[in-house]
Structure 1
């Protein structure tokens, strides 16, 4: 993918999207702390209690569960509903996005579940009746019970206006995706270490 002003598709740009967002970092830190408490095993859903997270990020959060090859939304924050114009709770991902985007978007969720690592992806979206906007989305794999494989994805999304002068969909693929990457432990630690310098929510 090509590089465009404000939308550089590089490792640095991916990590900058994470390290400049205090809310996203707080969620990532909570996941990492829960995993550390489990001796490196994936966090259980009970360990990811939203009450332990900053209240300011709750409207941006979501939870999906894997049912076979499909992904069902168990929880959608109020800002998600405001953005997309409906409450996705109870719906499958393939019911909420364009058919041609289903394979690629579903693969990202399966990738974080199968890999057992956080996944950050960036791109563009266009809510019905609105203009193109940019987004950063963090996916975190979670087990229903301690010691079990991950079957749920907890995460959050940030949506914002494109940088001034940035061309619509510049550098993105046909589905509006700019980049997607699993976050290794070293990248998570480096991002979390800089939490104090992030954006105030």
Structure 2
């Protein structure tokens, strides 16, 4: 599976960009993946329905991801909660080849990964599924991944229940990117030629 090289501007959602900026501020400070306990974005409570937390066991090949979140919109999209389950088992054989390589890329690179896929809801309306994965570590290896999962339809309303399992068509990938360029968060309008870079 091929991934583009991208900078943070590839992320469309303003809320996902805010989440990514918080990760970037921590990353730039130490030039390494932050610990998950350090990650405290503003208005985090407003985003919890779209966030999924995973623990990662990198002693296994491929790495083993365990879902730690319950009651998220992902639960509605997949038809049931996945808390405490391995992600690959939760996805099932049809979705594993499409979804798991995205998580493996994030873990292998130790960098955020962003994808956009199109999928039809049960009424045939096209829904864009935007996924931002951010890796975290307590040392060298990835120990946690946080995923922000957004769904949007140009048709307006759509049916999220069983979105990922409700029809025979699989999601169609529109973008797969590793965010590996311009890994800094600059305060807008604060930098002139020769000025020191400030991180907000």
TM-score (norm 2): 0.69
The residue that corresponds to 1:6 in the other structure is none
2:50 to 42, 46, 60: 60
Larger radius of gyration, structure 1 or 2?
2
Q: 1:32 to 1:44 in 2, by over 3 A?
A: same
2:33 to 38, 42, 46: 42
Matched, 1:32 2:28: no
State how many pairs are aligned. Answer: 168
Distance 1:57 1:157 in 2: 10
Alpha-carbon contact 2:25-2:184 (below 8 Å) kept:
no
Superposed CA RMSD in Å reads 3.2
Q: CA deviation at 1:77?
A: 5.2
Distance 2:109 2:71 in 1: 25
The residue that corresponds to 1:93 in the other structure is 87
Where in structure 1 are there 5+ consecutive unaligned residues?
Answer: 1-9, 165-172, 195-201
Matched, 1:160 2:152: yes
Please state whether the residue corresponding to 2:68 is helix, strand or coil: strand
Alpha-carbon contact 1:26-1:54 (below 8 Å) kept:
no
Please state whether the residue corresponding to 1:185 is helix, strand or coil: coil
The residue that corresponds to 1:84 in the other structure is 78
The residue that corresponds to 1:3 in the other structure is none
The residue that corresponds to 2:108 in the other structure is 114
The residue that corresponds to 1:135 in the other structure is 129
Distance 1:116 1:61 in 2: 19
Q: CA deviation at 1:183?
A: 0.8
For residues 24-55 of structure 1, give each alpha carbon's deviation from its aligned partner in whole angstroms, at most 9, with x where no partner exists.
01110111111123x201101111246x5432
Alpha-carbon contact 1:63-1:152 (below 8 Å) kept:
yes
Matched, 1:179 2:175: yes
Distance 1:35 1:11 in 2: 18
Q: 1:118 to 1:71 in 2, by over 3 A?
A: same
Please state whether the residue corresponding to 1:75 is helix, strand or coil: coil
Alpha-carbon contact 1:76-1:89 (below 8 Å) kept:
yes
Q: 1:179 to 1:98 in 2, by over 3 A?
A: farther
Q: CA deviation at 1:93?
A: 1.9
Larger relative helix fraction: 1
The residue that corresponds to 1:170 in the other structure is none
The residue that corresponds to 2:163 in the other structure is none
